[in-house]
Amino acid sequence: MDGNFNENDLSKVINADKANVWHHLIQHKPFETNDPRIIVEGKGMRVWDQNGKEFLDAVSGGVWTVNVGYGRESICDAVRDQLMKLCYFAQTAGSIPGALFAEKLIEKMPGMSRVYYTNSGSEANEKVFKMVRQLAHRKHDGKKTKILYRDRDYHGSTLATMSAGGQDERTAEYGPFAPDFVRVPHCMEYRKHELGLEHLSGAEFGRAAADQIEEVILREGPETVGLLCLEPVTAGGGVIEAPEGYWERVKEICDKYEILLHIDEVVCGVGRTGKWFGYQQYGIEPDFVTMAKGVASGYAAIACCVTTEAVFDMFKDDAADPMSYFRDISTFGGCTAGPAAALANMQIIEDENLLDNCTAMGERMLNNLRALMDKHEVIGDVRGKGLFLGVELVADRATKEPVAEKLGQQVVAECGAQGVIIGVTNRSIPDRNNTLCFSPALIATADDIDAITNAVDNALTKVFG
């Protein structure tokens, strides 16, 4: 390990953690007998734990975040310099990095125009929901309050974003939820039998899957629906790319019924799929784009809710009306470390050609994983875009019956034993937590990719024979 490492200090840390930290998304009973994992240090694609064990991180900080890798001096320097100059002022005023990052971001997003700063993906999504509700009141006589979200998609951990939660095990026990959030079916080709569309394929299937959104709109009443909120590629719901034909039809439907389109880029945003944004892979023209994780690769907390000028204009139409603007604030949306880090993060992606690397390494990884299908009957499907990939594990390829959730977790553990951290969908969708998840940093080399897929190969052999 690179840094100074004092074993005595670390046992103190572990005790403090066990006594006082409530970890995210994990059961704590096992920590009565085992130690939690403490990640001490990171460099490039690698991290080290409290025992000095080195891991190749194939999930960019656990949840597809550290897109440019660990230990980036230029980002750290930019954040430090900015904090010394001005750490914070509320976003009622502007800041130098806030203005410069907004300009640079909008250059990458033709058609979009305004950046609203917040500090988490959930919060950015809630901003969109609030804007849509306000527009419903001001422009549509209190109608068009309904927000459509898709089965298997995830938009955050707050109650409003859980109300738009398409993962029943994530939302279970946290209701009741906010009214006027309505679910539309998923569009997953591998499981199209669940949609009654098993007789269709390709673009025909894609259009038919989107038609099911229109059916929901017609059932609810188009005059009541204000927003359609979708992930460009569903992340924690199983790494699901929409089929061919889907997005064109979604656009037709949104135009026809005057429904705004919100693309949640919290995972795909800033390079993950090989373009700046996932929606740019599919020619989508959104009204809202939200982003968080990869915006500053985790070096500072920053999230953005980006709108078109047309949306922005609807909030500034009457200077004489004191209620005629978006009456909202995010305190930490005024932290300057976020946009300072985001500027340096984007510079790295440009200087090092990381979008191209992401595309090339993504293809290599996809091919490696597909090759494993010949050897491992348990792999039912391999899918994804760029360095954002999933491997669905099934007990039977013909029936597509998923393997038990604990078997996917065993594969993760076996990879961990070989020094490779991968992910698996967990406690999200009943009987569908069977997709291994991969999201290595965009700096991954061919050797890194091969090391990851070799570890998966070994782990599958160990768990399934």
Binding interface with ligand PLP (CB under 6 A) = 63, 120-122, 125, 154-157, 231, 235-236, 264, 266-267, 292
Contacts of 440 (CB under 8 A, 6+ apart): 45, 57, 58, 59, 60, 361, 365, 387, 448, 449, 452
Query: Interior CA angle at 307 toward 301 and 308, to 5°?
Result: 150
C-alpha–C-alpha distance, residues 308 and 320, integer Å: 23
Between helices 337-351 and 73-85, what is the axis angle to 10°?
150
* Nearest CA-CA partner of 203 in 164, 172, 248: 248
- Kindly state the smallest distance separating residue 122's Cβ from ligand PLP, in Å: 3
Query: At closest approach, how far in Å is the CB of 231 from ligand PLP?
Result: 5
Residue least distant from ligand PLP (Cβ): 121
Nearest approach, Cβ of residue 193 and ligand PLP (Å): 25
Nearer to ligand PLP, 61 or 364 (CB): 61
Output the six-digit token pair for 282: 């599919």
How far, in Å, CA of 375 to CA of 457, rounded? 9
Smallest separation (angstroms) from ligand PLP to the CB of 322: 31
The least CB distance from residue 64 to ligand PLP, in Å, is 7
When the beta carbons of 115 and 463 are compared against ligand PLP, the nearer one is 115
Q: What is the rounded distance in angstroms from the CA atom of residue 424 to the CA atom of residue 411?
A: 9
Q: Tell me whether residue 287 or residue 448 sits nearer to ligand PLP (CB atom).
A: 287
Is-contact 348 104, C-beta < 8 A?
Answer: no
Kindly tell me which of 368 and 428 has the beta carbon lying closer to ligand PLP: 428
Tell me whether residue 150 or residue 207 sits nearer to ligand PLP (CB atom): 150
- CB closer to ligand PLP out of 50 and 333: 333
Please choose, from the candidates 298, 387, 294, 338, the residue with its C-alpha nearest in 3D space to the C-alpha of residue 108: 294
Provide, rounded to whole angstroms, the least separation between the CB of residue 232 and ligand PLP.
Answer: 9
Q: Where are the beta strands (DSSP E) in 258-410?
A: 260-264, 288-291, 303-307, 379-384, 389-396, 401-402
